[in-house]
Amino acid sequence: MNKKSMYMGPLFAVVVVIAIMYLAFVLHTKTSSFEKKIGEKQTELLNTYQKGEKALFYVDRAGKYSINKAIDEIDKGKIELGCGKYKDYALWKNKDNDCYPDLIFKKIIQEKLNEYLGKYIDNYKEAKIPKNNYEIYIKGKKIEAIAIKNILIEDEKNRINYSVKPSFFVNTNYNLMEKYKQYGETAEEALNFIITCLGEGSGEVNDDDLKTCTSKANVKLSDRIIATSYEDLDKEFYLFFDIVEEGKENIKFAVLLKDDIAPPKTTGIKIEKRDSKTYIGWDKNPASDTKIYEIYYKDIDFKKSDDANNLGQTSDTEIETSIKGDYYFAVIAKDEADNQIGPFTTEKLTIS
Amino acid sequence: MNKKGMEGGLLFLVSMLVIAIAIFFVFFYFKAEKTKVKITEDVIKIDNNIELLNILRTYIGDRNVADLIADYYNQKIMAYELTNKIDVLMKEIYGDDVAWAIKVEGQEISNFIVTLGKSMIKESSTSIPNYADSKPINVELRFYEK
């Protein structure tokens, strides 16, 4: 026997002993399977399936409640749509942006569904349901949510995995996108009407004038504007809407009316020549928010004189007019939002 | 290695095999005895949840039973209103010979008065969401012999 085969003998014996022991162990565990009931695994399979169905039902109901809650909150002006809030009203339009819901409805519903459904899922203990898991599809009156990841029901003991893809939908009474678009158009119509009214009227923008123009707009819009608000500090004007639809609660929102209405043309310009100087006067501008008058004169080129701020009276502004020739004068009212009319008309004065 | 050493190794090998086979034989002998198990009959209970889910999904008018139960839980409808509505549905499905009871977070409503002495046929339970807050409502359904 060589040296190699000398070691092979005991090694072979050890391997055989291990193999026999393993066989004995397998036989032992196999006999214990007789202690299981026939059909027990099938029962667990059914129970796992039922767990999945219960989770599906829960997600379906909770998802519907979440979407309905989000729609209700948009309608009641409780959700901020990106343009801020004023009092209890969500702004659908501010100075810089339009935030009409039809433009961002899908995004808002998606965010709110994740938030509200997430809370429902946190409280559900019977299965592990994935969160932030839904793609939203809006087709007419139907809002559909389809899961990205499946719900996985695991029974580790019985080695059962049940995977199911939840989806749910909400049918609304009417096409929400169309409705929101209509409300947006109503708001724009009201704003344009009021701006035109203010421009054609006295040209002033104050509480009284806004109220008058709002009343006129309301006649046109079947009383859909319920109030106006004037923020003197920021020169901001808000229109509040409270639209009642049949079979639905009121829809509340507000829009911001920008003060981009210039005071009308300044009239009654009088030019008086005294010695080498010229004094200029005018009638008080009817715009109540007139802040200053800018005076321009031209000998060769137009020049801007000092601003006149004695708003109630004619100006005593002096302009040097010692050189002979034609002079042209213009007075332009500027309001507190720095709006001013242009181009201006001029008054002529000839120095001989 | 000399001849003596070779013989010793062979003897050790044979001894190990004999011992292993003996252990296996003894073990298998006793285990084989244990496999003579009695075949017995047993009942495995499966909850009747699918039936409950179907009832909860069923619409009565413009609201389904799950909504109505949430209404009852949020005190928007009275117990008798819920009982009447569900009883009409149950009779439509199961006929007149059904005694049912629904527990909503422990509060029982049923179409019979005396529970005592009635034997339960089947039961099921699940959680339904509440539209008023995010805490689920536990609902149990039981059928009894009438």
Which chain B residue shows the shortest CA-CA distance from A53?
B50
For residue B3, what pLDDT is reported?
64
Query: At which of A203, A230, A258 does a domain end?
Result: A258
Residue A312 clears pLDDT 60, i.e. is over it? no
Q: State percent of chain A over pLDDT 90.
A: 21
pLDDT digits (tens, 9 = 90+) for A184-208: 888 888 888 887 777 665 555 555 6
Q: What is the 3-state secondary structure (H, E, C) of B52-108?
A: HHHHHHCEECCEEHHHHHHHHHCCCCCHHHHHHHHHHHHHHHHCCCCEEEEEECCEE
- Interchain contact A158–B (C-beta under 8 A): no
Mean pLDDT, 10 residues at a time, chain B of 146 residues? 68 80 76 63 78 93 93 93 92 86 88 71 91 93 85
In chain A, the N- to C-terminal Cα span, in Å, equals 144
- Interchain contact B31–A (C-beta under 8 A): yes
Query: Which residues, 6 or more positions from B3, have their beta carbon under 8 angstroms from its beta carbon?
Result: none
For residue B98, what pLDDT is reported?
82
Residues of B in contact with A41 (CB under 8 A): none
Looking at per-residue pLDDT, the higher value among A274 and A118 belongs to A118
Please indicate whether, in this complex, the C-beta atoms of B6 and A1 are within 8 angstroms of each other: yes
Give A83's Cβ-side CA count (13 Å radius): 22
- Interchain contact B74–A (C-beta under 8 A): no
For residue A3, what pLDDT is reported?
61
For residue A11, what pLDDT is reported?
76
Instruction: Give me the amino acid identity at A191.
Output: L
Stated as kind and residue range, the H or E segment containing A284 is: none
pLDDT band at A235 (very low <50, low <70, confident <90, very high): low
Which of these, A98, A73, A92, A108, lies nearest to A253 by C-alpha position?
Answer: A92
Residues A62 and A121 in one domain: yes
Residues of A in contact with B28 (CB under 8 A): 24, 27
Residues A281 and A248 in one domain: no
For residue A89, what pLDDT is reported?
86
pLDDT band at A169 (very low <50, low <70, confident <90, very high): very high
pLDDT digits (tens, 9 = 90+) for A46-82: 889 999 999 999 999 999 999 999 999 988 888 888 8
CA distance B4 to A1: 11
For residue B12, what pLDDT is reported?
79
For residue A204, what pLDDT is reported?
55
Residue A308 lies in a domain: yes
**DSSP secondary structure string, A233-281?**
TTTEEEEEEEE--TTS--EEEEEEEE--PPP------EEEEETTEEEEE
Residue A178 clears pLDDT 70, i.e. is over it? yes
Tokens of A207: 């509480």
CA angle at A46 for the pair A41 and A47, rounded to the nearest 5°: 95
Q: What is the CA A141 to chain-centroid distance, rounded?
A: 21
Looking at per-residue pLDDT, the higher value among A285 and A332 belongs to A332
CA distance A99 to A83: 6
Residues A164 and A188 in one domain: no
Residue A265 lies in a domain: no
Residues A297 and A318 in one domain: yes
For residue A316, what pLDDT is reported?
61
Tokens of A263: 């005071």
Please indicate whether, in this complex, the C-beta atoms of A24 and B23 are within 8 angstroms of each other: yes
Residue A6 lies in a domain: no
Q: State percent of chain A over pLDDT 70.
A: 77
- Interchain CB contacts (distance < 8 Å): A and B: 102
Residues A108 and A167 in one domain: yes
Residues A52 and A161 in one domain: yes
Residue A12 lies in a domain: no
Residue A326 clears pLDDT 90, i.e. is over it? no
Residue A330 lies in a domain: yes
Tokens of B96: 């007149």
What number of other Cβ atoms are within 10 A of residue A212's Cβ? 15
Residue A194 lies in a domain: yes
For residue A309, what pLDDT is reported?
59
For residue B70, what pLDDT is reported?
95
Residues A128 and A241 in one domain: no
What residues 98-157 of chain A have any CB closer than 8 A to a CB of chain B? 116, 119-120, 122-124, 126
Residues A148 and A216 in one domain: no
CA distance A81 to A252: 13
Residue B50 near residue B19, CB atoms below 8 Å: no
Q: What average pLDDT does this structure show over A81-108?
A: 87
CA distance A65 to A193: 39
The overall average pLDDT reported for chain A is 79
Residues A55 and A157 in one domain: yes
Quote the strand ranges of chain A, DSSP E. 85-86, 89-93, 134-139, 142-147, 151-155, 160-164, 167-171, 225-231, 236-243, 251-258, 270-274, 277-281, 290-298, 302-304, 318-320, 325-335, 347-351
For residue B82, what pLDDT is reported?
93
pLDDT digits (tens, 9 = 90+) for A119-161: 999 999 888 999 999 999 999 899 999 999 999 998 888 888 9
Residue A111 lies in a domain: yes
Please indicate whether, in this complex, the C-beta atoms of B23 and A123 are within 8 angstroms of each other: no
Query: At which of A227, A258, A289 does a domain end?
Result: A258
Residues A187 and A294 in one domain: no
Residues of B in contact with A39 (CB under 8 A): 44
Residue A60 lies in a domain: yes
Work out the widest C-alpha separation in chain A, in whole angstroms.
144
- Mutation to test the B interface, candidates A1, A29, A32, most B Cβ within 10 Å: A1
Residues A184 and A225 in one domain: yes
Query: At which of A258, A286, A314 does a domain end?
Result: A258
For residue A148, what pLDDT is reported?
95
Total tally of structural domains belonging to chain A: 3
Please indicate whether, in this complex, the C-beta atoms of B129 and A65 are within 8 angstroms of each other: yes
Residue A307 near residue A228, CB atoms below 8 Å: no
CA distance B146 to B143: 9
Full residue range of the structural domain in which residue A206 is found? 178-258
- Interchain contact B43–A (C-beta under 8 A): no
- Interchain contact A34–B (C-beta under 8 A): yes
Residues A151 and A63 in one domain: yes
Please indicate whether, in this complex, the C-beta atoms of B31 and A28 are within 8 angstroms of each other: yes
Please indicate whether, in this complex, the C-beta atoms of B31 and A10 are within 8 angstroms of each other: no
For residue A197, what pLDDT is reported?
76
